[in-house]
Amino acid sequence: MSYQIKERRTCKVSGKEFPIIENELNFYKKMDLPIPDICPDERQRRRLAMRNEFNLYKRKSDLTGDEILSVHSPDKKYPVYHSSEWFSDKWDAMDYGRNFDFDRPFFDQFKELWDEVPKLGLLVLGDNENSDYSHDAYRLKNCYLTFDGEQGYDCMYGETFVLVKNCVDFFQLINSENCYECLRSEECYNLYFSAFCNNCSDSYFLRDCHGCRDCFGCCNLRQKQYYILNEPYSKEEYFEKLKSFQLNSHTALEKLKESAEQFFIKYPRKYMHGLMNDNVIGDFLYNCKDCYECYDCAQLRDCGYCTNCVLTGNDSYDIDIWGDRMSFCYNSAGCGAGAENIIGSLYCGFDSHDIYHSAFCWKGCQSLLGCSALMHKKYCILNKQYSKEEYEKLFAKIKEHMKHTGEWGQFFPPELSNFAYNETVANDFMPLKKEEAIQLGYTWKEKDPHDYKKQSYSIPDRIEDVKDDISDAILVCDKCEKNYRIEPSELKFYRKHKFPIPRLCFHCRHQERKKLKNNRKLSSRECMKCSTEVLTTYKKSQPELVYCESCYLKEVR
Ligand SMILES: [Zn+2]
Ligand SMILES: [Zn+2]
């Protein structure tokens, strides 16, 4: 892959200049796509702003009137169905079909369809057991408030995961068990308050450690046991010292968190996180080759500007979440499971191909343009059926029309988002103030006073002093003042592991974890040891010691 900058353009949304690199340019040519006039950041903002991942509401199904949980708040004007209803034959998305009008822009016409077609209450593709409070997550059992993942068992409060068991409060956890407050870790067991670890167990407050067990407050260690603050202890001393940390007390735990961060900051960081990569630029990349500005991705080849695409994918640009046998996809969110040639679409996949500017079209769909909520369909435009010949003729004509209006290859504009900006993952990764969001065409959700009742309960400092009645209490988040609850199973977990009751709501806990990761923004700087130039997400203003790979590897022990 060549990352040579071939030209620079000015973004029509942000007014900022952005580069077009050689491979990207070749991709656009191959895919017959116009060179974008919106910068990668603003393209990503549009995609993320179509996804509400964490805010669940109680509302009625517009098909049955039953009470359901949904990412769509009850005030929305469009119909919302429970996933079991949405995927049933009780309704037909083709009833919403319409003709294309060449006197009008495409997105105006798609919006009219989009506003009428029923929406999925929660994105659930079957197979979940006793896990009603989960969205965009599959093959779950006994999970509560888990999002964007698969194969979770007895887990609570987690985002982005594969194969996790008995984990609470986690973000980006793979194949791990009994973990609490962990971030971007893999193959870990009984690991707590830790980040960026592999194969670690029975440990607390680890950062960038691999293969460690029985360690406390350590950084950059490999294959160590009985270490505290990077110093070796005997087994007996280790467990004696461990007792003194008082992890059962909220006050003590907060102090530990603070001093752990102060300790970690003294140790160098590698300029990027990742393993087994070849010629990549970005952060948190694993088994990737020839990838440009990708973040939180695994097993990608020849891709650019992708985020959260795991499993496998190749020759794709501007894709957020999913992956899994994705190829030749562009500017789409939620794209995978054998998705091929998907352009400007939202949640299209499962062996679907040649899908353009469509949303929620699944299961072997092919040759669709401007469609929504279709399954096993082909040759449709705006949910209307055509013959193969009619489709091809009309498709070519509309594509020309859309190239002319500047719409071809664009993702859905802000006014098509079903969600307020501050309900979406866009605000998570690219936070805006209300005025800024509105300026860009997004909407904003005001606080609901019902969620801000006064605290009726004083939380004891030590978990041992907490009574069962805490599960009935309304608690108030120390940070955002929103109400939150402690589920009985959650209380059981804290008691079992002897951790105090959290004082922040789920959202704020999630935000605190996320803070440990840098923003997805690269800048060029020098390795602070050898002065080699590196592209890194560590801004110059950050206090971390940033090293190139070879200097970093000399530091790990
Ligand atoms: Zn909060
Ligand atoms: Zn160096």
State in Å: Cα 206 to ligand 1 middle. 25
Residue 177: inside a domain, yes or no? yes
- Give the model's pLDDT for residue 127: 82
Residue 25: inside a domain, yes or no? yes
358 CB contacts (<8 Å, ≥6 apart)? 345, 346, 348, 368, 369, 370, 371, 372, 374
Domain boundary (203, 236, 269) is at: 269
Residue 151: inside a domain, yes or no? no
d(CA 525, CA 229): 29
State in Å: Cα 415 to ligand 2 middle. 46
For 238, the domain range is: 163-269
The closest alpha carbon to 549, from 195, 285, 229, belongs to: 285
Q: Which ligand is nearest to the CA of 271?
A: 2
Domain boundary (269, 295, 313) is at: 269
Ion ligand 1: residues, CB within 5 A, are 477, 479-480, 482, 505, 508
Question: Counting Cβ atoms within 10 Å, is residue 8 exposed (0-12), middle (13-18) or buried (19+)?
Answer: exposed
Structure tokens at 16: 């900022």
State in Å: Cα 503 to ligand 1 middle. 9
Residue 127: inside a domain, yes or no? no
Beta carbons within 10 angstroms of residue 390's beta carbon: 12
> Could you give the angle at the alpha carbon of 328 between the alpha carbons of 340 and 38, nearest 5°?
120
Residue 52: inside a domain, yes or no? no
State in Å: Cα 41 to ligand 1 middle. 27
Decide the pairing of beta strands 475-476 and 313-323. Answer: unpaired
Residue 185: inside a domain, yes or no? yes
Domain boundary (245, 269, 293) is at: 269
Cβ–Cβ < 8 Å for 112, 101: no
Beta carbons within 10 angstroms of residue 499's beta carbon: 21
Residue 183: inside a domain, yes or no? yes
Query: What's the first-to-final CA gap in the chain, in angstroms?
Result: 34
Q: Which residues of the chain have pLDDT under 70?
A: 1
**Number of domains composing the chain:** 2
State in Å: Cα 299 to ligand 2 middle. 27
Residue 254: inside a domain, yes or no? yes
State in Å: Cα 478 to ligand 1 middle. 7
